[in-house]
Amino acid sequence: MLIDTHCHLNFQAFEPDLEAVIKRAQTAGVTKIIIPGSDLTNSQKAIELAEKYAGIYAAVGIHPHHAIQIQNLEKTRQKLLHLCESALDRKVVAIGECGLDYHEYQITKYPENKITPKVKQLQKKLFKVHLQVAKKLKLPLIIHNRQAHDDILKLLNSQFSIGQFPKGVFHCFSGNQAFLRQVLERGFYVGIDANITYSHGLQGLAKKIPLERLVLETDAPFLTPQPNRSQRNEPKNVKIIVQYLAELLNVSAEKIAQTTTINARRLFKLC
């Protein structure tokens, strides 16, 4: 049994054939999938899908890309809380994805696509709201971090004292060994995606992550493994990450599958 801890089945890319995608995942042994939210509307959609399908769970959150669209932080906090509390059967298992993203993409919602000090400030305020909601509801965090290592750690440190850190995952991990150590010291798990099939930096880093802290994710529809990188990714491809890690780490595929599944169940309290 495998768990895809980060898959955007709530995105339009999956609308035409969602049930077939879930079926293919199940056939490949991926029997549990967590759908993160990236705004309020698709967080709601994630909850609806989780309530509809067995083995599907939701996370509620707003991606830092959307920070500029937030008008009222207090209202946003209330909405996030309400979404989590309204879900049936404990189907909301985490807060996220949330975090900071300082990478300058070609097309963003920010003026001239620039990450200005003002944009950083907005992202930080929005991330802080997520940290507070996670703390209040005692839910783990799904953290999105791109080129914002120091500010992420600062914000985590400001909200949680050492030893008191909420568990969570740094999804689609990127960073150097020093940052990895700081993430592990705070009790977080590390999410590995299929970009490990082509990112040499990540391949080196993966060898430094204790197996007990690893969880697997596809981030589908993005991050399709080699050699099909132009195609839509699917949750069934967790299996490819397992096989790749098994070779890279010289551990059996069964051991990778078993341990990462136990980790994900423990982190997100999945039965």
Give the C-alpha separation, 68 to 120, whole Å.
10
CB of 149 to Zn ion, least distance (A): 15
- Stretch of 45-53, 95-103, 112-120, 224-232 contacting Zn ion, by CB under 5 A: 95-103
| Number of shown-chain residues binding Zn ion (CB under 5 A) | 3
Q: Which residue is nearest to Zn ion (CB)?
A: 144
Which one, 46 or 139, has the nearer CB to Zn ion? 46
Q: Which of residues 207-246 bind Zn ion (CB under 5 A)?
A: 219
In the bound state with Zn ion, the residue whose beta carbon lies nearer, of 130 and 144, is 144
Nearer to Zn ion, 2 or 100 (CB): 100
Candidates 76-84, 122-130, 143-151, 154-162: pick the segment binding Zn ion (CB under 5 A): 143-151
Smallest separation, CB 39 to Zn ion (Å) = 12
CA distance 164 to 126: 21
CB of 229 to Zn ion, least distance (A): 17
Q: 12 or 71, CB closer to Zn ion?
A: 12
Among residues 32, 91, 124, 144, the one that binds Zn ion under rule CB under 5 A: 144
**Counting contacts by CB under 5 A, is residue 32 touching Zn ion?**
no
Min dist CB 6 to Zn ion, Å, is: 6
Please report, as ranges, the residues that interact with Zn ion according to CB under 5 A.
Answer: 97, 144, 219
